């Protein structure tokens, strides 16, 4: 049984349970959503109607929530008389159904039945539960916009790998992607740029046509609802105070007007760290409170991501307004000014029953008590945050930034950063060894990040994500041994079958032999970094 991620415990017996036209579903209380999902997916793949059936009949899939199991824990039993999927909650039942789909073979991931196909499940019992509660993937739709249908497909791919957090990077210098009705120019102006750098920022190549798009509030509601049906939480990211040129282009008063002519700024058309940051004024705070008020209406998630990374302080150093604010607040320097800015929104979100999370730069200058940290610049930020009593999501750039290249070969498309092979990702360990058990409890989980500067479309996202995201999913879900002791050969063996599932889903993954000709980008320069990445 070539299952990914690897279940905690599997017992196989001889024989199979064969599904026929009469195969139906008994959905207990709380499992109706999983039954709906099975009829839509397995019903399409098999051609079976999967009607409601009573438990005293044979040839039935029994779905039930079982007290005593952990929230996302499940038990899958395939017996000669029928199939049982029990979960500690509706989420656990759903993950068990995902495992059952894998047991049916790659054709169960198709959208229409193949003629003559026989459907059978191996007689087995699986007991399984995740290692981490936060098993996330960040998708950047600001640098290159992904239309709604692509986002919904991406959520299906996350669900198929038992990943349960979708970090939705919605705003940046290069585009604002969510409709805010109070401030229509954020999308009227901020969602479009005149042209786009092709390749790394040092590349001489440009795509000389406008690029952009945004999600209406109804689009967002649909995405959030679609994710919720798959037991995925959508965590939105609205970047402050850096990475904000698109917002400043739409509303110039948000920038440091006493330093630069913000009316001359447009949505940024290249990549890198942008010097144009938000002004630390009351007007800016009120504006973004208005933004977050609408964001909270759209996203019911516990956490709201506010970015906080890569905020150059040069304009604040030159700005009389910013310097006056530092004196007025009795702050030491510009780092403490950013901490004050982030702290304002931490208090604002806390008062509304939500929690702030930001990139590890929010540690600089002091961090508000309730805030959580996405540790991206290696392990150090996560270690510092956990030791200070803050919750942490481990997503170190050197380990799980999937925009980094997968091989050192010259044919890799637009090679960025360190080489992070499939095996490297499989041997990633989210919990730093130097943490004590009490400190380690602050590690909520882990997340892989997909920054799209050099991923111009869905196929490029697929190529960078897969198959490495399958390895990451196993790290996040399965109770694997220490990195050096992990059985990568067994993972590769199971992955050989998993490629068939990805093929059926239409995923443009990187083949183990290297990129196909149409996946290459000859002549488009990247920014490869030689040598092994630092492990700190």
Supply the residues annotated as catalytic. 172, 243, 310
Residue 410 CA to residue 407 CA, distance in Å, equals: 9
Residue 284 CA to residue 405 CA, distance in Å, equals: 38
Length of the chain: 536
SS3 sequence of 194-251: CCEECCCCCCCCEECCCEECCECHHHHHHHHHHHHHCCCEEEEEEEECCCCHHHHHHC
Residue 85 CA to residue 95 CA, distance in Å, equals: 9
Phi, psi of 275 (to 5 degrees): -75, -15
What letter does residue 179 receive in the DSSP assignment? -
Task: Yes or no: say if 244 and 185 are a contact pair by the CB < 8 Å rule.
Answer: no
Phi, psi of 79 (to 5 degrees): -115, 165
- Which residue in the block uniquely carries the two structure tokens 């929690």? 355
Strands 74-79 and 119-128: antiparallel
Residue 345 CA to residue 81 CA, distance in Å, equals: 56
Give the closest residue to 356 by CA, choosing from 292, 438, 400, 432: 292
- Give residue 188's Cα distance to chain centre: 27
18 sits in which H/E element: strand 9-19
Give the closest residue to 186 by CA, choosing from 276, 284, 283, 291: 291
Residue 3 CA to residue 11 CA, distance in Å, equals: 13
Residue 139 CA to residue 128 CA, distance in Å, equals: 27
SS3 sequence of 236-296: EEEEECCCCHHHHHHCHHHECCCCCCHHHCCCCCCCCCCCCCECCCHHHHHHHHHHHHHHH
């Amino acid at each position: 049984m070539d299952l990914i991620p690897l279940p905690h415990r599997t017992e196989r017996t001889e024989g199979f349970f064969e599904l026929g036209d009469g195969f139906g579903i008994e959905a207990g209380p709380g499992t109706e959503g999983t039954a709906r999902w099975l009829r839509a997916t397995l019903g399409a793949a098999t051609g079976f109607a999967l009607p409601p059936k009573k438990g005293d009949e044979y040839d039935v899939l029994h779905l039930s929530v079982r007290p005593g199991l952990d929230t996302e824990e499940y038990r899958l039993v395939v017996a000669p008389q029928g199939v049982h999927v029990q979960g500690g909650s509706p989420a656990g039942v759903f993950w068990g159904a995902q495992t059952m789909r894998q047991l049916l073979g790659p054709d169960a991931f198709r959208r229409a039945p193949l003629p003559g196909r026989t459907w059978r499940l191996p007689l087995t019992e699986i007991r399984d539960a995740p290692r981490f509660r936060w098993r996330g993937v960040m998708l950047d739709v600001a640098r290159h916009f992904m239309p709604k249908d692509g986002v919904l497909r991406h959520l299906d791919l996350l669900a198929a790998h038992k990943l349960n957090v979708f970090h939705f990077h919605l705003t940046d210098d290069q585009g604002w992607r969510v409709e805010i009705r109070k401030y229509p120019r954020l999308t009227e102006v901020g969602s479009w740029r005149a042209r786009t750098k092709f390749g790394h920022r040092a590349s001489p190549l440009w795509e000389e046509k406008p690029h952009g798009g945004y999600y209406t509030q109804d689009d967002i509601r649909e995405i959030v609802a679609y994710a919720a049906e798959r037991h995925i939480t959508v965590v939105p990211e609205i970047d402050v105070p850096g990475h904000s040129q698109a917002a400043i282009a739409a509303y110039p008063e948000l920038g440091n007007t006493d330093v630069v002519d913000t009316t001359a700024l447009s949505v940024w058309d290249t990549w890198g760290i942008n010097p144009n940051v938000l002004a630390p004024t009351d007007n800016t705070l009120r504006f973004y409170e208005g933004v977050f008020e609408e964001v909270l209406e759209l996203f019911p998630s516990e956490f709201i991501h506010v970015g906080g990374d890569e905020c150059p302080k040069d304009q604040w150093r030159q700005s009389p307004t910013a310097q006056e604010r530092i004196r007025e607040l009795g702050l030491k320097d510009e780092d403490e000014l950013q901490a004050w800015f982030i702290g304002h929104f931490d208090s604002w979100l806390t008062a509304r029953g939500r929690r702030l999370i930001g990139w590890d730069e929010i540690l600089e200058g002091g961090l508000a008590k309730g805030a959580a940290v996405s540790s991206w610049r290696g392990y150090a930020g996560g270690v510092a945050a956990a030791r200070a009593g803050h919750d942490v999501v481990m997503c170190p750039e050197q380990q799980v930034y999937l925009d980094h290249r997968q091989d050192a070969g010259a044919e890799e498309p637009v090679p960025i950063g360190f080489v992070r092979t499939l095996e490297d990702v499989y041997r990633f360990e989210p919990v730093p060894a130097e943490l004590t058990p009490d400190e380690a409890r602050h590690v909520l989980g882990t997340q892989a990040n997909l920054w799209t500067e050099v991923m111009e479309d869905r196929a490029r996202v697929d190529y960078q994500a897969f198959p490495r995201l399958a390895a990451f999913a196993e790290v996040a879900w399965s109770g694997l041994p220490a990195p050096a002791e992990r059985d990568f050969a067994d993972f590769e063996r199971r992955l050989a079958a998993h490629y068939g599932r990805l093929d059926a889903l239409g995923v443009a993954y990187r083949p183990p032999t290297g990129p196909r000709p149409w996946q290459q980008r000859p002549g488009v320069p990247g920014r490869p970094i030689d040598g092994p990445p630092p492990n700190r």
